A = this chain, B = another copy of it.
Amino acid sequence: MAVRKQKLINQRETILRDMLEGLVSAYPNIVRLTSAGLIVRAQPKASGKVGLVIGNGSGHEPAMIGFVGEGLFDVNIPGEIFTAPGPERIVAGIKAADRGAGVLVCVSHHAGDLMNAEMALELCQAEGIEAVEMVVLYDDISSAPKGSEVERRGTAGLFFVWKMLGAYAETGASLVECKTMAERIRDNTRTLALALTSCASPVTGEVMFDLPEDEMEIGMGVHGEVGIGRHKILSADATIDLMLPRLLEDLPFVAGDDVLVLLNNSGSLTLMELYILHRRVAQLLQEAGVRHYRSWIGPYATTQEMAGFALSLCRVDDTLKRLWDAPCNGAFLKGV
C-alpha cells in the first residue's frame, strides 16, 4: 500500500510550532505568527470592516494557514494535527480579527470544531463581546442525504467560501451581510471526494484507514471518514462519469447555470491525473448545458499524502463571479 510512514519533521511534539514558524519565515510580507499561536495578516485589514476567522485541525495544509491575507481570512487558529483548537484559542482569534465591525467565525462542520466554536461564542458573550456571528459550512454530499444538508461535513468545497467571502468582507459589507453571503455560497456548493490510497498520521505514524491497492473509495472524508462505496479502480473518465452526475442532481445544477470547478488534490495525486480528470468534467458539464466559468486544480485542502481528489462545483451569478475574480494575496493563494 502506497503509504509513507516516515515524514520529514523534527519531533512529533513540535510539528505544529515548526510548521507555523516555517510558514511565516517564508511569507513575512503576508502573515505573522502571534505569541498565542495564531496566524494573522502582516498588515491588518482596514478598520471598520468585518473580520473573518477560522479554526481547524492541522495536517490539511495549505488549509487553512495558507488562506490568511488580503481578500481572504484575517486570522487562522491552527489546532494540533487533526485536532480542533480549543474555545479559549478561538476567542483569542476573534479578538485578533476585530477591526471594529464585528467578527464572523467560519466553522467547517465537524463535531469538535462546531462544539469548540459554540463554546467560544458563549465565552465571548460572557466577556461582553457582542458583535460575533458564527456560520457553519458543509458541502460533502456523501456524508448525509439530500434534505439533510445541515448534517453534512465540511470538505474541500469550502474553498469557494474562503475565496469569495474574503473578497466580500473587503468591500465593507456588514456582519449580517457577510454571514448571509457565506450561507449563500455554501448553499450553492456541492462536493464529492475519492481516495486511491490511505495516508499515515505524522504524529503516530499509523495508517489512517485500509484500502486495497486495486480499489478506490468514493465519498471518503478528510480524516478518512468512511465513504459511500468501494470499486475496483476505474479509468479517469469512468470515475468522473460515476461522480459528476451525483453532484449535478444534488443541488441540482441545471442547464444554463454557471459554475466554478474545484479539483482538489488530497495529497499525492499528480497534476497529470487531475488535468485528465478535468477533461471529462468539462465534457459532461457541456453535455448537461452547465456553463464552466473558472477552474482551480491543485492541493487546496489535503489529508497528508493521501492519493485522491475532491470534485466541487459552485453555482455562481454575476455577484459571485465578481467576488471570485477579485484579487487576493495569501501565502498559498495569489491573484485569481
Contacts and interface: CB of A to CB of B under 8 A. Distances in A.
Interface residues of A, number: 69
Given A9-B235, A10-B235, A25-B282, A332 B298 contact: yes
Nearest to A267: B268
A183 to B, nearest CB: 28
Contact of A336 (B6, B22, B273, B334): B334
A268 B265 CA distance: 10
Contact of A276 (B10, B277, B298, B327): B10
Nearest to A11: B235
B4 A307 contact: yes
Which of A19, A27, A307 counts the most chain B CB atoms within 10 A?
Answer: A19
A3 B267 CA distance: 14
A2 B3 CA distance: 5
Complex copy number for this chain: 2
A281 B237 CA distance: 42
A305 interface: yes
A4 B4 contact: no
A61 B269 CA distance: 11
A197 B4 contact: yes
Interface string A36-66: 0000000000000000000000110110001
B276 A9 contact: yes
19 contacts: A6-B196, A6-B214, A6-B233, A8-B196, A8-B269, A8-B276, A9-B276, A10-B276, A19-B272, A20-B275, A22-B276, A22-B278, A25-B292, A26-B275, A27-B295, A202-B272, A269-B305, A271-B299, A271-B332
